[in-house]
Each structure stands twice: as structure tokens, then as C-alpha cells.
Amino acid sequence: MSRAEIEPTPLDDAARAGWMYYVAGMTQDQIAGELGISRQRAQRLVSRAIAEGLIHVRLNHRIGACLDLERALRERYGLSVCRVAPGLGPGADPSRAIAAAAAAELERFLRMPEPLVIAFGTGRALRAMAEQFTPNDARQHRIVSLLGNIAPDGSATLYDVISRIAEKLNATYYPMPVPVISDTAEERAFFMRLRPVRTVFDLAQRADVTFVGVGQMGADAPLALDGFVSPDVLAELQAQGAAGEIASYVYDTEGHYIDSPRNALIGGVRVAPGQSQPVIGVAAGPSKIKAIRAALLGRILNGLVTDEPTAAALLAAQ
């Protein structure tokens, strides 16, 4: 069968409509006429092109209000890196609002010619970032995970992002080949003694730049939703003042890691506070504000990518 005889798929149509709208600058009426479809269908195809990640849209103009928020956050929390993206409005997924800004920040490091070790946590915001950044040949860098990639049921964790990032870069990557959380301290100690695990652990500890998600510790805690803590353990952590978690390590409202048996079972690197190398949190949304602020106060993070409403709330917090 010749290429001309191959029927276009729905994704082909969406990609074509997205290209016409965002690249060629055509109106939806023009797209409808060009493709021989209704205006409503043209609108749906353009929307699907974005939803499926077929077209990536970047805001290249830095909005003045966002710049003001960035400056204020830098001053308030002593940040070395800060990017504030426009909010998408009530009801929208905050991860979508910040994905492109986070991807642009990642790309800034990837363009550096000297070899870097770039470490990543996990989470929905980082996965959105991974989908947004532009593929490039950056094989001089090494990509490493901060955290184990095995869920309690033995499956791969859903929001581990380094394989996707490394694939786009044609770069060497180092997953942490252990469970996110072990059943006992003895089991964790056994895993951490394995030579390949020590190699990855040591590499992650000396990363030149680190990108992490920030998890809240309320009833909607990602650790609970994804099965990494039971309701009883979540309640215990909350009773100890848990405010947030980074790479599955839980900390309190002052950004101090909680002395908990559960924290001692995590398979991975605990991000040390007060680092001189960039440690950039990628997080936004009302449920994240308490967790982000605590991580900033404790100097677990020295960089942040967030959106306008979250930035404003962080500045208003006392």
C-alpha cells in the first residue's frame, strides 16, 4: 500500500489541525474549510492536539506580573532560581500551567556544554515537565533518580520520569533499582549495600542540579493515593506535624524532616537542606502551598517553578 493510500488516524487529523492553528496561524473556520469538516470538529481537533501532547505551546514573553512575583519570592525565600507561570484559572490542573516553564528551566541546564549530573524526583508535575521539553541530543549529561522505582505491589511506579527524559536526550540514565519503601530496616539496609544501588545513590547525592516534585500531606496526599502509606501511617505522620514530602521523605511545617520509622525505610536519597547546587521544586496549586512553603523555609528547596496564584499565596503566608 502506498503512503497516499494510508487512511489518516484521528491523531493525524488532530496534529494537522494543531499545526494549522498554532504554526500556520489559521482560524478554526479556515481549518474546517481546509479539512472539509465542521468548525466544531476543527475546534475539537485543535484541543485534542494540545491534550495529547502533539503540539507544545511556549509563552516566550515574560509577563510583568509574573516577573514581579519571581523577584518577591527570590527576596522572601532566598531563591537562586524562580519561575512563575501564568495561572490557568479555577478548576484547571496546575501541573499543566507550570509544565512548559519547568521544561524551559530544564532545557537551560541541558544546553550547558559541560557534563552535568541531573537528578530527578517523581510526581505528576515532573511527568508533565518531561512531556513538554524539547527532545535534544544531550548525551554529555547523566540522568539519575533520587528514589526507588518499585511500588509496594512490585510494579514500576507510575510517575518515575527519568526514562522518558533520558529517551528524549539520548543520554545515559541511572534508575534507583530498589523499592520506594522497604518493609523493614534490615531489608532496606540489604538493598542499599548492593553495589549497583550504591553507585546510583552516590551519583544522586553529588548531582549538579536536582528537580523534584512536592507532595502535600493532607487527605489527598500523593503518598496515600499511590499506595505508599496506609491511612494509619498517614494519620501518624499528620499527628507529628507532617506538612509535605519530597522524594517520599516527609517534613514538618518548618521544613525539618520528621523522625519517623517510615522515613527510615525510604529507598533513595534524602535531599539535604541548604545545598549550594540548585534544588528546584516544580509544584503549584492550593493543596501544595503549605508543603511548598515548608520546603522553602527549611531550605530543602533553593529554586521553584510555580504559577501566579501559588506564588501570591506563598508571599501572603505569615
Tens of pLDDT, residues 21-62: 876 678 889 889 888 899 999 988 988 887 776 766 655 555
Confidence at 120, pLDDT banded by 50, 70, 90:
very high
Segment 263-266 long-range contacts (CB within 8 Å, at least 24 positions apart):
264/185, 264/188, 265/181, 265/182, 265/183, 265/184, 265/185, 265/188, 266/147, 266/148, 266/180, 266/181, 266/188
Confidence at 118, pLDDT banded by 50, 70, 90:
very high
Tell me the torsion sign for CA atoms 78, 279, 305, 238.
Answer: negative
Model pTM score: 0.81
What's the mean per-residue pLDDT of the chain? 88
Question: What is the distance between the alpha carbons of residues 106 and 99, in angstroms, rounded to a whole number?
Answer: 10
pLDDT in tens, 130-186: 888 877 788 899 999 999 988 777 777 777 788 888 888 888 899 998 999 999 999
**Exposed, middle or buried: residue 97 (CB in 10 Å: 0-12, 13-18, 19+)?**
buried
